[in-house]
Amino acid sequence: MSQQRIEVTLAGQKITLATSAEHEPLLRAACTLVDEQIQLAINGGNRSIERASMMAALKIAGDLIKLQAAPLQTPAQSVSSNSNPEEIARLQSEIHSLEDQVDALMQSLSLPGSPRPIVP
């Protein structure tokens, strides 16, 4: 699997990320979701990009926890009883990979007027 670089925008800042062609659509979708949540936090009154990013991360984490806790349902039957364990493991691996990439971005993101990296 060869790596390629893609450019995305998070919180108004262009960021270059490395990914495989296979994972690029998922990474772009994740970046779009994160950027939307940051913008919602900013529009909600958070003037600090750092605080808005933390609020976005908490919102997304809360949504993920709710999804993991709730049984998956289709109109006719529960999907969880027919779920493929290998597919679930693959998706969980992708989620962890995206979380690691977001963590790395948050640590290296430099805020305007603040030359220091963000440290959790």
Counting the structural domains of the chain, the total is: 1
**Average pLDDT per block of 10 residues along the chain, 120 residues long:** 90 92 93 94 87 92 87 52 75 80 65 48
The answer to whether the pTM exceeds 0.75 is no
Q: Which two tokens stand for residue 65?
A: 């926890």
Confidence (pLDDT) at 76: 47
Size (the chain), residues: 120
Q: Which two tokens stand for residue 24?
A: 């690029």
Confidence (pLDDT) at 107: 61
**Which residue is listed with tokens 């990979």?**
97
- Range of the structural domain that residue 91 is part of: 3-117
CB 81 within 8 A of CB 71: no
Q: Please tell me the distance from the alpha carbon of residue 120 to that of residue 118, in angstroms, as a whole number.
A: 7
Per DSSP, helices labelled H in the chain are: 24-43, 49-69, 85-108
